[in-house]
Amino acid sequence: MPEKPTGRRTQRPSRSQRLPGRTVTFRYPPQSGLCDDEPALELLADGTLAVEGRLVAASNATLYCTVELDGQTAACVYKPVAGERPLWDFPLGTLAGREVAAYVVSRAAGWNLVPPTVMRDGPYGPGMCQLWIDADTGTDLVALSRSRDQPKLRDMAVFDAVVNNADRKIGHLLPIGGGRLYGCDHGVCFAEEYKLRTVLWQWRGQKLPGRAVTALGKLEQELASGSLAETLPSLLSASEVAATKERVDLLIEHRVHPYPPENWPAVPWPPVASSSFSLVSAASARPGSFWPRHCHSTVRSLYSSAKQTP
């Protein structure tokens, strides 16, 4: 019989477990005060990206990197589009865009639950680049995921309903102390059909708190004529953007947390991510080692064609 998971966050390497690389000088988020994402976004988008290693247990190519700009260096995760495995229910080559879309939605609502994330070109082609968050490895994630009195966790549940997150595992929660919380791995969000699959069902059917209604109101405005109206169409299909608007409208109309879907597994499997998540050297992070080379060339061709389209 397999051992019962402890709930400790072991799927990401701790600072001491990482491969030798550049010294990180850029700190995010600040220990106190408001968090300005613009410096982080500029660093991620314009900095020099260096692959330090690969997170081998990830289902898609996930590279641990450093990014450097004007003397500042940060740790980040780079997921090349060419490293995405085909899925039956999400179009090929769209997962990176969904990760970026999750970030811009979270930021527009004022939730700030997703680390700064951009789309950029990298050593293995275009992909998403997300700032690495050093989570509190002493937190029992199983206990956290079952909590009913954590405001940021409840924000996460509403956020997941908005983006239609099909993979909110316990290991995708990144607590950093002081009640602050981030989430990662949002590549299978924004499906048109209702596919919410999460470990955060403890508020199902309950009335939304006032802070959630306020955040949803912001999203409604941003989707109508604000930043999201301009940004999301470049990251999602028109029908997926329309479905996102509809989910926001439904949440505002009914003002309750959604119930699990009747024809879709309500909880991702495994609910606790594997404890065998390890980091290997950059020498193994080459195209042929984590995706078929024909897939790499195909997506490269698609990307080149898309860039040439007026």
Identity at 157, one-letter amino acid code? A
pLDDT of residue 13: 56
Question: Which amino acid appears at position 48 of this protein?
Answer: T
Averaged over 240-258, what is the pLDDT?
A: 98
DSSP string, 117-153: EEEEEETTEEEEEEE-----TTSBHHHHHH-SS-HHH
d(CA 233, CA 211): 27
At 235, the amino acid letter reads: L
**pLDDT-based confidence at residue 108 (cuts at 50, 70, 90):** very high
What CA–CA distance (Å, rounded) separates 37 from 12?
23
Q: How many CB atoms lie within 10 A of CB 168?
A: 28
* Residues of the chain above pLDDT 90, percent: 71
> How far from chain centre, in Å, is Cα 217?
22
Taking residues 113-136, report their average pLDDT.
97
- Which pair of tokens denotes residue 141? 């994630």
CA distance 6 to 179: 21
Q: What average pLDDT does the segment 283-308 reach?
A: 40
What is the SS3 string spanning 212-243? HHHHHHHHHHHHHHCHHHHHHHHCCCHHHHHH
Predicted pLDDT of residue 261: 87
pLDDT score of 299 more than 90: no
What angle, 0 to 180 degrees and rounded to 10, lies between the N-to-C axes of helices 238-254 and 210-225?
A: 150
> What is the predicted pLDDT for the residue at 176?
93
DSSP-based three-state secondary structure for 94: coil
More confident residue, 10 or 21: 21
In whole angstroms, give the CA distance from residue 125 to residue 69. Answer: 19
Phi, psi (5° rounding) for residue 43?
-60, -45
Give the closest residue to 242 by CA, choosing from 280, 193, 308: 193
- In this predicted structure, what is the pLDDT of residue 6? 43
* Measured distance CA(286)–CA(223) in Å, rounded: 39
For residue 251, give the H/E element and its range.
helix 238-254
- What is the C-alpha separation between 304 and 108, in angstroms, rounded? 30
- Give the span between the Cα atoms of 72 and 117, in whole angstroms: 17
In the predicted model, is pLDDT for residue 196 greater than 80?
yes
Bridge pairing between strands 48-55 and 279-281 = antiparallel
Tallying the residues shown for the chain, one arrives at 310
Mind listing the pLDDT tens digit for each residue in 162-173?
Answer: 999 999 999 999
Residue 288: predicted pLDDT = 46
pLDDT, averaged across the chain: 85
Identify whether 29 is preceded by a cis peptide bond (ω within 30 of 0).
yes
Report how far residue 131's alpha carbon sits from residue 219's, in angstroms, rounded to the nearest whole number: 23
Band (58; pLDDT cuts 50, 70, 90): confident
pLDDT reported for residue 29? 86
